[in-house]
Each structure stands twice: as C-alpha cells, then as structure tokens.
Amino acid sequence: MGLKSAIEWTESTWNPVTGCTKVSPGCKHCYAERMAKRLQAMGQANYENGFRLTLQEQALELPLGWKKPQMIFVNSMSDLFHQKVPEDFIFRVFEVMRQASWHTFQILTKRSDRMEKLGQRLDWPSNVWMGVSVETPMYLYRLDHLRRTPARVRFVSFEPLIESLGEVVLDGIHWAIVGGESGPNSRPMDEKWVVEIRNQCLSVGVPFFFKQWGGSNKKKAGRLLDGLTWDEMPRSVSSQGNLSLR
C-alpha cells in the first residue's frame, strides 16, 4: 500500500526525489518545504538533507510492491523535472511507472520547459498523467509546453491561484484543478478567479476539480463552490481526444 495522501485529487504519494528550489511566485510559501523541515527535525531518514534536492534510490521501486491499484502522486515533495534530477533517473522513474501498470501516476511540474524537451524521448505509458502548475497569467505558457507532451492525460493545477487568469486556452487539456494557498501567510484567492476558470472548463467540457479555498484554516474554509463540491476527474481519453468522466 502506498503512503496515503490527504491531497483531495489523489490517493497515495511516492517520492523517489525529495527537495526542491523556488522557481516562480507559487513557490513562495511551499508546503513541501515546511513539511520537509518538520520531518528533518523529527529525524525522518529520507529528510536528513531537509529540503535540499535528494535522489531517494531506496524508494524508486516501491510502487511495484503496492498490489492494490491506486492513484499515485509522483514527487509530492519535489519536482521530477528539476534541473538537478539526472536524465537517467527520470527515465528510471518512467520505467517503474510503465512496469506498475495497475496504478495511475500523476506528475506535476513547474519546469515545463525541461518536461517538454525530455518528453519526446520518454516512453509515456497510458497510466501516466502529466500536469503543470500555473499560478498567474505569466505562467500560462506552461500549458503550451504541456500540449506538446505526448502524455495520454494532460492536466493543469491552478494552485495556488494568486491572480485572475483571464481567458485560458484549454485545448488539449483533459483536467483542471483549482486551489487556494493554505498555511501561514497564505495569499487570498478571489472567488471570481475560480468561477472564471470553472465556467471556461464547463464551456469546453474539461473536468473541473475544486480542491480548496485555503487560508490559515483550510479545513474551516472548506471546498464548496456555489454550494457544490466539484470533484470531476478524467477517466479515459479516446483516440479522437474525447474525454469521459469518473
């Protein structure tokens, strides 16, 4: 069984890499950095380096031993396409995902340029979903990189959403997640920004998942948008690119 996750859009996490560096405004109050420092203070062996990028060789083949099929978020504590992760290690991660065909793997990156460059040489199994994070209009270009990546399911996480994105081109995108920033000093998210994205998803048939309002007490803030919980997820993509929902 994988490490059970509290992240609403996945079931388990797998971290063959830990640690990262800040690359854009969404990283300012990084939850993974806070968690890594806490785990380091607790003496957790995988976090002896704190939030310094570390390859976790001993964790590489863990999903092969998890027999129950599950949705697995890859590197919730890092970024697989960080410039300091060697290419051969990325290829090995993909090989494990290919072998563990009974699981569904979700990868999320802010390094969309490296993802696109390596993407043409990677073997993309159908059980690997690829996503990018977009927090402000300045980073909408990551969606262009994602569209050119040969993953069967491509998704975007608008989290933490810290500005209105205006019109978003969702062609070639199969799933959209929206969430506000949480934790100490979290930046507020305006409901209008969320509704803008939700309405655009509805108009073009992209599944919409609203993760959280965030804030210093995200549990109290909840997940309701217009009185509803939005938990749409992609299930499969046909050869014509049409999407069905789970």
pLDDT confidence of 242, banded at 50, 70, 90? very low
Whether 241 has a pLDDT exceeding 90, the answer reads no
Whether 237 has a pLDDT exceeding 80, the answer reads no
Nearest to 110 by CA among 87, 133, 92: 133
Q: What are phi and psi of 218, to 5 degrees?
A: -65, -30
The per-residue pLDDT for 238 is 35
pLDDT confidence of 235, banded at 50, 70, 90? confident
Calculate the average pLDDT of the chain: 94
Asked if 195 and 176 touch (Cβ cutoff 8 Å), the reply is: no
pLDDT confidence of 156, banded at 50, 70, 90? very high
pLDDT confidence of 245, banded at 50, 70, 90? very low
Going along the chain from its start, the domains and CATH numbers come out as: 3-245 (3.20.20)
Higher pLDDT pick, 233 / 1? 233
Whether 181 has a pLDDT exceeding 50, the answer reads yes
Q: Report helix, strand or coil for 58.
A: helix
pTM over 0.85: yes
The per-residue pLDDT for 91 is 98
Whether 140 has a pLDDT exceeding 90, the answer reads yes
Beta bridge partners of 210: 178
Query: What b/e string do you get for 93-122 counting C-beta neighbours within 10 Å, with b at 16 or more?
Result: bbebbbebeebbbbbbbbbbebbbebbeeb
Could you tell me the two tokens for 193? 């920004």
Measured from the Cβ of residue 161, the count of other Cβ atoms closer than 10 Å reads: 26
